[in-house]
Structure formats: structure tokens, C-alpha cells
Amino acid sequence: MVGLEFDAREEELECFDDLEYYVIERGVCTGCGTCAGICPRIGFENDRPVMKDEYDPHCNSCTRFCPQFYVPSSRMEEMIFGAVRNDRYLGYVDQIVSARSNSDVIRSVSQDGGVTTTLSKYLLESGAVEGVLMAGVSEREPLKPVPIVATTGEDVVGAAGSRYSICPVVMGLREAFDRGMKKIAIVGTPCQVQGIRKLELFSEDRYPFDIKAVIGIFCFENFRYDELFKNFIEGELGIELAGIKSVKIRNNSFELHKSGEVESIPLKSVFKHANEPCMLCRDFSAELSDISIGAIGAKTDWNTVIIRSERGRRLFEEVVEKDLVSLSSDKVDIEELRGMGRRKKRHVEKMSAETREFLTQFGVSEDAVRIYELLIALHGPRLETISEATEIDANTIKEALDSLKERNWIREKMDKTTNTLMYIPERPEVVINNEMKKLNSRLKIAKKKAIADLNSSYLRRIQEIN
């Protein structure tokens, strides 16, 4: 859960006001589109949710399913895979292979091996689904992704490729509902996968969708279209977006592919335009998907495919049996893949040494300070997640949490959706101000006693001299 603060507001999360207060205004909204997908009153402007109409103060759907509130990963893994993660950095893994599409047309327009496009096209053409929620391409602005519900193979092929900008893909649920679709699939980044999984597992049949496949895309971070493409690439660098056919990230470069040439931009100059909420995400490989697909660990123009669930395995076996996809004899570089997952899990804002030292002056252990930091930065990390990120053992973590709770740095709350206990951090300024008051009170008492003791000794010394 994001760093919720405890004040005079109602403790229960009820409506869009809470989404706005806790997520949007705090700058932790990833723009996944889940809230707009399930609520017709919510739209998107400048990559963020906005209320288009009067909201229902008794509806909690937007906060209930927003992945920036709480994602009970362990419970969801049990429900999806029948077991919890078996890989510390990649989640639950059944099989990892390298593959690519057998279609020359698909490979010519795809980012790498075209497996994502092939799976999506097959789901539609086989009749398994009526629509696939995915990122398409804007007809008005070059390279800008927009949420679409693909209903034909042509739609899917037309949307192939990565554009590295925020796209509220899950918002497509609204269109699917309006068009009377029941059987759907989704292709999304980790945050989008988390949103759709919360809806699938905890909606209590409130939403009439039969989700047949959740295909996840590897994602380290995303970018805001206007900031990166319009202001930086077109505005500062003078590169016309209309002339760019595709974008790829390779060899520490942000590659802009034009007709017959490739213009490369150093990644370090691009990263400064990354979407800030992405810095709080710890999921690189879309761990809650049925199948996860990317390029890390595979050779050029091939995909790494992580098969996770039973339905994901059946889907992948079907496309292989039908000769739509080929497997590579080359093994995936698991260590490279796992290394990227490790980096993402530690891809969290860090306190400065000065801030950490300042907080320990209040008599809080360094371990407790680090845990408080994580609770602020991450959305509801469970004990094993804290241990993974800090390498602190479980008993020490529990002691630190008890200490923080006793000092009112954090509070416990039971999430009614998942029946899971959450540790919610208090707002930093409240914590520091309260601790400063206590410290100043102790210092005043200590000051009086010290002056009295020292004056007594000083007077004795003067009397001895005289």
C-alpha cells in the first residue's frame, strides 16, 4: 500500500476522493487505467484519472481495485498458481523458454520475437476471447499509445511493438463492457496485471468478465509521452516524431528507428524522464500473469517467455503445436533475467545518510528506520518482501514493526478485500514533529537537572576556593 496517512479523515477507503487524496495527489499513480475501466464516471487526462461526473460516495471500486493500494501477492499467487513464488526475483515460475513467432509479417512489426502478438492474435482467431485489452497507437499523435480492445488479428498486428509511454490499458474494460463482451484477455505491464488480477480475484462477480488470459510484459520503467517524446526528443533534440517508425531499447541506448536509419540516444539522458511512480514498483516480469514475455535473457530478435499458470501453459502449448511459434535451442540467460528482477526489486527511493542518521537520534534502531522507509516507498510490502529488500531476518523485522507501532510511526489495518493485515506508515512530518516534541520535552527536563547538578558542583568548588 502507498504511504497512507492517518488524520481526521475517515479510516475506511470509500470513494474517488480517497483515490485522489492517497494516490493521485501523492504522485504514485502509474496510470494503469483500472479505476477508469471499472467506473464510467472516471476518465483520464494527462496520464492521470479525473472525475468526469458526480461520484457515488458509497462506491469503493476505484480504491478497492487500484494496485497502488494493496496487492496481497502471496494470497494471489496461491489463488492463481496454487503455490507461492518459487523464485525470489521472478515470482512463480513453471517454465522459462526462448521463442519467436513463425510469421514473417508479425516479426517484421514486433518489438523482438513477436510472441505476444502471436498469442493475442491466436486467442481472437481461435474464438477463445472476444476482445484483447492492449496498447494500440494513436491516430493523431505519432508513437503515442492508447488503450484499445482488439477484436481481430489485424487489430493486434497493427498494435505490435513497444512505445514506452504510459497507457491506461485496463481502461479498455469499459469499452468491452459497453460492447457486450464477456470473454476477454489482456496484454499489460506489471501494474496493469496487478489491477486486472485484483478485479478478477476479488470482484465477487460484480463485473461480468471471464478473463481467459493475462499476458504480462517485462517492464523496468515507463515514460510520460509529452515529457519524453514531445518535449525532449522533438522539442530539445529536434527529431520529428512523425518520421520514427519504432522505438527499441538496446545496448544502453534508446533507439529511434526511421526508414533506413537508426538514431540512438544514451539511456542515461532518457531515464531522467521516467515516470516517477515507476520508481516505487518492484515487479519487473509481471509476476501475476499467466505468461510473461520480454527480451531480457534471449538472443536478438527472440523472446524470453516465462510460463507461470496452468492456463498459460495450455495456451503456449497450443500455439507451439499449431506451428505458430518456434522454440529456440538456445537457453535463456536465467542469471541475466533474475539480475534484472533483483535490480527492480531494489529500485526504490533511498533515504540520504543524513536523514537516516537524524531519525535514529529519536532512539529508533537503524533496522526500524529502514523498514519505515520501505513502508513509505512500497505499496504494502509483506514480511518476506521487506526481508528480501533489506536482508533483515524475519524476527528482527517483526520486532522493528512492533517498535514502530508502539511509537505511532505505523498502524495496523485489516484489508477487508483480502483479509490481510497491513502496516500503514504515518505521514513523515507527523512522525518527526511528534518525536521532536517528545525529544524537546525530555531535553528540557534533562536541561533543568543538568544545570542544577552542575551549579551545585560549581558552588561547592567556589566555596572550596574561597
pLDDT tens column, 139-169 = 889 999 999 999 999 999 999 988 899 999 9
Beta bridge partners of 98: 304
pLDDT tens column, 298-324 = 999 999 999 999 999 999 999 999 999
Q: Can you read off the three cell numbers belonging to residue 56?
A: 457515488
Q: How far apart are CA 222 and CA 191, in angstroms?
A: 11
From residue 39, alpha-carbon distances to 126, 194, 316, 400, 443 in Å are 30, 17, 33, 39, 53
Nearest C-alpha neighbor of 279 from the set 223, 336, 207, 216 = 223
Contact 214, 289 (CB under 8 A): yes
pLDDT bucket at 179, cuts 50 / 70 / 90: very high
Q: How far apart are CA 1 and CA 385, in angstroms?
A: 13
Distance spanning both ends of the chain, measured CA to CA: 69
pLDDT tens column, 73-91 = 888 999 999 998 999 899 9
Contact 276, 221 (CB under 8 A): no
Helix (H, G, I), strand (E, B) or coil at 127: coil
Which residue did the predictor score with more confidence, 236 or 12?
236
Contact 239, 263 (CB under 8 A): yes
394: enclosing H helix or E strand: helix 394-406
Q: Can you read off the three cell numbers belonging to residue 262?
A: 537508426
- How many angstroms from the chain centroid is the CA of residue 256? 26
pLDDT of residue 1: 33
Q: Can you read off the three cell numbers belonging to residue 138?
A: 494513436
Bin 310: left if φ > 0, else alpha if -120 < ψ < 50, else beta. alpha
Burial class (CB in 10 A: 0-12, 13-18, 19+), 9: middle
Cell 476477454 locates to: 184
pLDDT of residue 3: 32
Which residue did the predictor score with more confidence, 372 or 306?
306
Contact 195, 31 (CB under 8 A): no
Q: How far apart are CA 182 and CA 209, in angstroms?
A: 5
